[in-house]
Copies of this chain bind each other. A is one copy, B any other.
Amino acid sequence: MKNHLCRASHAAACLALISIAASACEQPDGKSGNPTSTAATAAAPASIDDIIKARNLTPDEAMAALKVFVPPGKYDEFIMFTSGGHRGSVMMYGIPSMRLLKEIPVFSPDSWQGWGQGETESQHILEDGSWGKGTPTLTWGDLHHPQLSLTNGKYDGEWIAVSDKSAGRVGIISLKDLKTKSIFKTPNMTSDHHALWTDDSEYLIQSAYFPAPFREANGYAGIEEYAAKYRGVASFLKFDRKTGRVVPAESFQMELPPYFQDMSILGRGPSEGLLFINSINTELSTGGTLEKKPAMEVGASQKEMDYLHVINWKKALELSRDKAKVTAVNGINVISLQTAKDDGLIHFVPESKSPHGVDLVPGGEYVVVSGKLDPHVSVYSVAKIKKAISDKTFEGKDEHGIPILKYDACIEAHIPTGLGPLHSVFDADGNGYTSHFLDSTVVKWTIGPPYNTPDKAWKVTDKVSVHYNIGHLQAPGSNTKKPWGKYLVALNKWSVDRYPAMGPLHPQNLQLIDISGPKMVLLSDTPTLGEPHNSMIMPVELLQAWTTYPETGWNAAKMAKSEVATAQGKESIVREGNTVTVHGTVMRSHFTPDIVRVKQGDKVIFHWTNVESARDATHGFGLHGYNVNLSVDPGATESAEVVVTQPGVYPFYCTEFCSALHMEMTGWLLVEPQ
């Protein structure tokens, strides 16, 4: 018992040793001669062929295994940002490994990351991004599409904008620290589908999904007044790249008819300045299943065609600066439907009814729409649409007086692809790929000139089965000027039997497909958390995130030095009346202070600064009883505020395993009874 312990007399040296990174430690049994095994050096127990045989892999499965594996310590080639749907977050996956690298909380709290879990700045972001007016602070959102910011129509690796279908909001994530910087509750919208960037991320463009009586008092009108008083809206939100925030004063909206405006796409090249929005429910159905009226699924499926909205948004932007052309409604300038019509800002093109996806080929020459009840992909020529507008080749007007262009004057191709077509993406070689919900397939087809010669244009060239009920699909850089191709991910809504039974709620299923050859090859299945609506994929090199904060005492929300940072040695506890402020620091492996004495009823404000600069040296601050957990990343200053209504002893401790003496990184909040 004498020789084998790290003796008390050596305690100081021991502590120094265990407070540093493991890499600096000696190998204590270097003399034992035991070899260190790694994947790179171990004596392998079997050959490649033996393993293939033992695991009963087919040759195609073995090839897929070798295509998707990323060896320990090596990096994936691409990063995919995928929506978490009503989980309220964004997921980051590596491609080809399909490992879930990170989840970025936006609309929902994440106690691990200290997001909305008593941390002051994130609480404010969630509160500021709620409806207000006596409704609760929202702690979820239905995050639909993550959109990577653009410079000259290409991903620039700086920001992600996300939308919330459940409340018509946009969130902004910085790719510097992968944290949310702001949530903007767009006025006059109760919902949206996504928020698109313009080609230099100057504006975010968002359309309402559910029309709303936003001009009425209290935002209320009976559903019987749907046609008269409910209206759709498109929002053009000015974005400030420096702060990661929307600038309401420079933003505007355009009133639209009360159709459900769904997905949209912005033009570029020949279609520069145009915005294309799909619509459903031009029937103006409102449901009423208990009132012997048809459900929306029937009511909104009566007409043969809905309307692709073609909006000259650059002209609308000019108009929005003319005070005579706009009215402020609930704090934002709105171009009325009448003005939009009178000034020729909007035209309709018939599209196969109840469409979901609208996509743009890389050069901007064609708009690709899929009416989900029509077993074809519809391709519109931008040149033809522009000519039809200029020639006034109308087939009539809708009931609001908006001109409808002749379908035949705009359509370029109508490709028979399969049942339930939804969305299309593009590779670098002139091919389109369309998802089919009902067929559960991805169909590959050729884009027309200038991508392929006319004889090779608009042809289906391959099809792959996916599992099951695919919604979106994505390929690197699709819908930008610069697609990379190589991989495609099918985002399947149902997994059914693809995984062991895990209870009634099934995961959705991401399938990685190799599109580098002439034929698509399904490589792997990956279950998901949440509901991954859409994603964006970029090369890993574009992600140039910080590994620690640039300055000690950093305010992550404001992306600047914190006003309440504390330097080491300057820690204090300050009482002013009933408010006690703790100016503290954290480092391996203690809090300063670690004893905080207060009285029942006090307000206690904690400001913790992580004074470490080592990569990965994060500390947590978990406070029993008062529902607080902070993640104090290297260099960060994080705050929390609680009113200690109940007396008692409330231990606090580091919740992020930081060192060999992490378990000892503890403290006490002592609340003396009044």
Contacts and interface: CB of A to CB of B under 8 A. Distances in A.
Nearest to A108: B111
Interface in A111-163: 111-113, 117, 131, 133-142
A313 interface: no
A627 B112 contact: no
Interface residues of A, number: 254
A403 to B, nearest CB: 18
B100 A504 contact: no
A90 to B, nearest CB: 12
Given A23-B468, A504-B634, A651-B191, A29 B417 contact: yes
Given A4-B374, A468-B22, A530-B112, A511 B72 contact: yes
Given A66-B55, A530-B112, A625 B131 contact: yes
Contact of A668 (B62, B86, B286, B463): B286
A546 B298 contact: no
Nearest to A290: B593
Contact of A655 (B44, B142, B280): B142
A179 B503 contact: yes
B622 A72 contact: no
Given A1-B407, A60-B44, A99-B526, A531 B111 contact: no
A29 B423 CA distance: 18
Contact of A670 (B48, B222, B663): B222
A498 B668 CA distance: 35
A38 B469 CA distance: 16
Nearest to A52: B66
Interface in A54-103: 55, 57-69, 71-73, 75-76, 79, 84-88, 92, 94, 98-103
B39 A522 contact: yes
A6 to B, nearest CB: 4
B69 A501 contact: no
This protein's copies in its complex: 2
B45 A48 contact: no
Contacts of A136: 626-627
Contacts of A372: 18, 660
B167 A657 contact: no
Nearest to A43: B519
Contacts of A287: 590-591, 594-595, 666-668
Interface stretch (A194-202, A249-257, A300-308, A337-345): A300-308
Interface in A647-674: 647-651, 653, 655-658, 660-661, 663-668, 670-673
29 contacts: A6-B375, A18-B438, A22-B438, A44-B60, A48-B62, A51-B63, A61-B69, A65-B69, A72-B467, A72-B498, A73-B498, A113-B505, A131-B625, A135-B626, A137-B627, A142-B629, A280-B664, A286-B668, A287-B666, A289-B592, A289-B594, A290-B571, A290-B594, A290-B595, A295-B590, A297-B590, A354-B661, A501-B545, A501-B546
Given A37-B462, A212-B649, 17 more contacts: A5-B304, A5-B371, A6-B373, A6-B374, A15-B301, A22-B439, A39-B523, A45-B521, A72-B511, A86-B655, A133-B646, A135-B646, A287-B591, A290-B572, A297-B589, A495-B616, A504-B633
Closest 5 CB pairs of A and B: A65-B69, A111-B140, A504-B633, A295-B590, A290-B593
